[in-house]
A and B are shown apart, each in its own frame.
Chain A
């Protein structure tokens, strides 16, 4: 499991996740997300790019929902972009897409967090 960060703006980060999200990688992802959120309290919005996620089960969903809870406490937003079709299906079946928006592209995601441009 690989996690790459990209600063979108002063209060938003994009995290590109690659690999399988299951019980084996869940702890690693959870720890990484917590470290990222704790290291800069100004970053309250997260865009999770799941294009590189080949597999997700309930363990992976649990980490994403935990991240959502942490971000929500700071009045931030979590948005998921680019899930592969079979990952999208899992998001829908679990109902997570009812609390965390799932969109197709960055433009839509940045609109939703109220960002008009990308910070260079």
Chain B
């Protein structure tokens, strides 16, 4: 049986942030994550989607943000993608004073893996992965 996945597309409006978080939390809730881990996933996802909306599209609702969730290798893979501005040197630098430059800090803190693929004018794709601690440490490893 194929592993579970879900795909979501929405306009580049911050009003869709809550939708993305609820979708991610619900998907994660079907896996072996604790409530704390689910809250961490919500933050990482919110930061990634905010980056797409704010930096990728400049909050232009014509832009489309794509979010995908996969059960993969015992964990959850999240992909957040936009076809917006992209970033210049491939190592994103948070110059967003309103968000204190913390977006990627939180993603790196809360997810086990992060990969960023970006090109100026062609958009940005964030691939994040998190494995439930219980599957890493065994059932008593909380």
Question: Which 3 residue pairs spanning A and B have beta carbons closest together?
Answer: A24-B14, A58-B102, A86-B39
Task: Looking at the assembled complex, report how far the CB atom of A100 sits from the nearest CB atom of chain B, in whole angstroms.
Answer: 13
A97–B46 Cα distance when bound, in Å, is: 21
- Across the interface, B17 reaches (CB within 8 A) one of A22, A66, A86, A89, namely A22
How many residue pairs link A and B with beta carbons under 8 A? The number is 66
Residue B132 interfacial (CB < 8 Å): no
B97 CB-CB contact with A under 8 Å: yes
A103 near B: Cβ within 8 Å? no
A55-B21, A86-B39, A93-B109 known; A22 vs B102 contact (CB < 8 Å) = no
State the CA gap A58–B47 with chains docked (Å): 7
A63 vs B109: C-alpha distance when bound (angstroms): 21
**A57 and B50 in contact, given A20-B18, A22-B14, A24-B15 (Cβ under 8 angstroms):** yes
Q: Are B50 and A61 in contact (CB under 8 A)?
A: no
A41 → chain B closest CB, angstroms: 25
Interface residue range, chain B: 20 to 34
Is A112 part of the binding interface, using a Cβ–Cβ cutoff of 8 Å?
no
Q: Is A94 an interface residue (CB 8 A)?
A: yes
| Interface footprint category on A | 20 to 34
Q: Which of A20, A63, A94 contacts B102 (CB under 8 A)? A: A94
User: CA separation between A55 and B42, bound complex, in Å?
Assistant: 9
Answer yes or no: B70 CB below 8 A from chain A CBs.
no
Task: Pick 11 A–B contacts, CB within 8 A, sort by A.
Answer: A22-B18, A22-B46, A23-B53, A23-B54, A23-B99, A24-B17, A24-B18, A58-B106, A62-B97, A66-B98, A90-B43
Residue contact A61 to B15, C-beta cutoff 8 Å: no
Indicate whether B36 reaches chain A with its CB closer than 8 angstroms: yes
Chain B residue with minimal CB distance to A85?
Answer: B36
* Alpha-carbon gap, A61 to B36, bound state (A): 19
0/1 per residue, B58-102, Cβ < 8 Å to A?
000000000000000000000000000000000000000111111
B56 within 8 A of A: no
Residues of B within 8 A of A85 (CB): 36
Closest A residue to B18 by beta carbon equals A20
Contacts of B106 in A (CB 8 A): 57-58, 90, 93-94
B residues within 8 A CB of A66?
98
Q: How far is the CB of B78 from chain A (nearest CB, A)?
A: 15
A23–B98 alpha-carbon span in the complex (Å):
9
